[in-house]
Structure 1
Amino acid sequence: MTQTPSPPKGIGTATLTLAGIAAAFGVAACCALPILFASAGIGAAWLGGVAIVAAPYRTPLLLIGALCLLAGAALLLRQQVTAARCGPGGICTPRWMRVLTLIGLLLGAALLWAGYRYV
């Protein structure tokens, strides 16, 4: 009897987090990121193409970004609870992946807020 290898733990959470970051980036590309980059002295002309494509879809991108980030946060919370119960020899999501997911969720939330606020 052969067993098929299971996918690594935390892939769904990371995928939802990346989708939320991508949607939030599209929302923030129009106004928030150029303001932020200009205040830091970084050119933001390359964001014009992204902003033109994403601008008509601002509301759906806000909803998709928020839903993906909320779902990713719920899955991360579930991973944290599972990791707390998991013993030293248990199979849990690695700590580094949970930390990176948390950083991604915070980045996505900041981009989403900035895209909503600065229009």
Structure 2
Amino acid sequence: MPPIPTEPNPTSRPIRDTGATLLTLSGLGAAFGVASCCGLPFLLATAGLSSAWLSGIALFAAPHRSLLLAMAALCLAAGAGLLWRRQPAGTCATGFVCAKSMVRGMTMIGLMAGLVLLVIGYLYA
């Protein structure tokens, strides 16, 4: 009986584990742009923080609000889907796509923050 190979094929390259993180960051940025016009300044003023620094971002993002809403929703949904498909690093074999617990947790926090910003931007604009 031939031996069973224990290592992955040396000619195949392992897939990098950055898709969900990049999509989450893109969705978070787009949701921040949407929320910067009305919802985020209202939320910051309620907390007693200044929101004057958001005026430049709001002026740039206001004409593109519907596009930013669609892109944020799409990127956050795709990032959540890729994060859900990833396996935790403890159950992964060498050469497969795995998620380190720190990266997975930070991506999950980014997804939740993006969702909150998206909802705030949609409701208050």
Q: Aligning the two structures, in what range does the TM-score lie when normalised by the shorter sequence? A: 0.7 to 0.9
Is the Cα contact below 8 Å between 2:89 and 2:100 reproduced in 1?
no
Whose radius of gyration is greater, 1 or 2? 2
Mapped contact 2:89–2:99 kept (Cα < 8 A): no
* C-alpha distance after superposition, 1:55-98 (max 9, x if no partner): 0000000000000000000001001xx228825x6552111111
Within 2, Cα distance between the matches of 1:42 and 1:4? 52
Q: So what's the TM-score if we normalise by structure 2? A: 0.82
Counterparts in 2 of 1:2-81, with a 5 A limit? 6=14, 8-9=16-17, 11-79=18-86
Higher helix share: 1
What is the match of residue 83 of structure 1? 88
**Whole-angstrom distance in 1 between the partners of 2:107 and 2:59:** 29
Name 1:106's counterpart in structure 2.
Answer: 112
TM-score (norm 1): 0.86
Query: Match of 2:36, as an amino acid?
Result: A
Runs of 5+ consecutive residues of structure 1 not aligned to the other structure: none
Structure 2: which 5+ residue stretches go unaligned?
A: 1-9
For these two proteins, the number of residue pairs brought into alignment is 114
3-state SS of the aligned residue for 2:21? Answer: helix
Instruction: Give structure 1 regions of 4+ aligned residues with deviation exceeding 3 angstroms.
Output: 2-8
The alignment partner of 1:46 has SS state of helix
In percent, how many aligned pairs have the same letter?
46
Considering only aligned residues, what root-mean-square deviation do their CA atoms show, in Å?
2.2
